[in-house]
Chains A and B, each alone.
Chain A
Amino acid sequence: EADIYQTPRYLVIGTGKKITLECSQTMGHDKMYWYQQDPGMELHLIHYSYGVNSTEKGDLSSESTVSRIRTEHFPLTLESARPSHTSQYLCASSELIEQFFGPGTRLTVL
C-alpha cells in the first residue's frame, strides 16, 4: 500500500483567501506531481518535481505555486483563491514505473 497523504481532504473558502494544500509521502520518492481534476473527471498535470529544489510547471496553466524543500513534502499554494480554482487536486509520487496517488483535496471557492 502506497503511503501518500493529502490534507485537507475537503476545503470550502471565500474568494481572495490564501491556501496551501499539503502533500506528503513516506516512500522516499524523488518524483512528485500535482494534477487538477475537473468536474468532467479529466486530469491535467499542473506541477511536478524531480527532486529537492526542483519544480516545473505542467501542461495546464495554473495560478498556483509549489515548493520542494524536503523530499517527502510537496505543498501547493494559491495566493488568492477564485471560484475558477474550484476543483479536485490530486498529488502523486513515483520512483521508477509506478505512480501512486493520494486521496485528493476537493477545493470549493465561493
Chain B
Amino acid sequence: GEDVEQSLFLSVREGDSSVINCTYTDSSSTYLYWYKQEPGAGLQLLTYIFSNMDMKQDQRLTVLLNKKDKHLSLRIADTQTGDSAIYFCAEIPAVAGTALIFGKGTTLSVSS
C-alpha cells in the first residue's frame, strides 16, 4: 500500500536553513504536497509539485523531488521563529482518487 515517511523532529537556529525530508512509496503519485500546521489550527497548504518536475521555488520555500529515489524535500531559507510548526508531506496516489495520503509530520523547532 501507499506509505509516506518523514523524520519526526528538526531543530534549527533562527536565520539558518531548514530541510525537511520525506519519502514515499507510490511511484505513480501525481502530485506531492507540503502542509504546515500550527498549534490548534488546521492544515495550511504551503506548496505542491507535479511529479514531472524536479524543483519548485516559492519565495523562501524550495521543493526538490527525486522521483527515482521517491524522495521529496522542503527547504526553508532564513528560518524564522514563526516557522515553528508541524510540516506534513502528502501525496495523491494515482489509483486513490484525490484523497491525500499524509506522512506523520515533522515538528520544526526554531530557536532564537
Which bucket holds chain B's interface residue count? Answer: 20 to 34
Main secondary structure of the interface of B (DSSP, over half): strand
Known A40-B104, A45-B99, A50-B97; judge A97-B48 contact (CB<8 A): yes
Interface of A (DSSP majority class): strand
A99 contacts which chain B residues (CB < 8 A)?
33, 45, 98, 100
Determine whether A12 belongs to the interface, using a CB cutoff of 8 Å to chain B.
no
Q: Mark B19-57, 1 if CB is under 8 A from A, else 0.
A: 000000000000101010100111111001000000000
Task: Return the chain B residue nearest A102 by Cβ.
Answer: B42
Residues of B within 8 A of A43 (CB): 43, 88, 102
In angstroms, Cα B109 to Cα A17, docked, is 39
Q: Which residues of A contact B33 (CB under 8 A)?
A: 99
Chain A interface residue count, CB cutoff 8 Å, equals 24
A94 CB-CB contact with B under 8 Å: yes
Across the interface, do A98 and B99 meet the contact criterion of CB distance under 8 Å?
A: no
Task: List 13 A-B residue pairs with CB atoms under 8 Å apart, sorted by A's residue number.
Answer: A31-B98, A33-B99, A35-B102, A42-B102, A42-B104, A43-B88, A99-B33, A99-B98, A101-B43, A101-B44, A101-B45, A104-B40, A104-B42
